[in-house]
Amino acid sequence: MLIPSNTTLFALLVGSGVVAALITQIATFLLSKLQRTRQGRYIALRSALAIEEFGSDCLVVIYEIEGYEEDESWGKQHVTLPRLTSFPEDDEGWRALPPTLAHRLLSFAPKIRNEQRNIDFYWQNTEPDDATTACSKAALALGCDADLLGRDIRQEMKLPSRDAAWNWGRRLQDLRQKSYRDEE
């Protein structure tokens, strides 16, 4: 029977310790990566839902303005864009998103504020109908942007596609095409 020497035993102990530490480090890394991916997908889903709700609300604003302009008995003379629901606060989740996607999401609210300032300028310095027209145009542009951004988020983060009873995004894109044709 062979009896291992102290040197051999020491080498086995050190080797098994190194292997155990390596396995622990790999497992920790993989679990951390999985957790970060989950956080990123959660942030992406919540953000997509907020953006899509905003886009849908933009279409409602456009319909109400059209109704007001056609027949003042229904509809509404909007001069305010819909409100964007706040995005979740989670630094780790935001870091898990691709930088270009995070940039597009985080720059959307300032874009809305800028358009609202333009509408407010029209409201204060021109005829009310000009402000309503500016609101309708801004709602169309931002609603189309929201549709595209929502779809891009879902595709890039491998989230389920939008499940909407009515395809507000398609309707906004159709209205945009119609406005392009009308301008020509």
Cα dihedral 170, 175, 181, 182 in deg (nearest 10): 170
Q: How many domains does the chain have?
A: 1
Question: How far, in Å, are 40, 44, 78, 90, 174 from residue 106 at the CA level?
Answer: 14, 12, 25, 13, 27
Higher local confidence (pLDDT), 175 or 5: 175
Residue 84 within any structural domain of the chain: no
Highest mean pLDDT among 7-16, 46-55, 62-71 belongs to 46-55
The arithmetic mean of pLDDT across residues 78-102, rounded, is 90
What's the pLDDT tens digit per position in 115-146? 999 999 999 999 888 889 999 999 999 999 99
pLDDT number for residue 184: 66
Rounded to the nearest integer, the mean pLDDT of the chain is 87
pTM of the model: 0.81
Tell me the two tokens of residue 77: 């003379």
Residue 38's domain spans which residues? 9-78+95-183
Residue 3 within any structural domain of the chain: no
Residue 127 within any structural domain of the chain: yes
Residue 89 within any structural domain of the chain: no
Residue 121 within any structural domain of the chain: yes
Percent of the chain exceeding pLDDT 90 equals 54
- Residue that the structure tokens 């595709």 belong to: 155
The arithmetic mean of pLDDT across residues 96-104, rounded, is 94
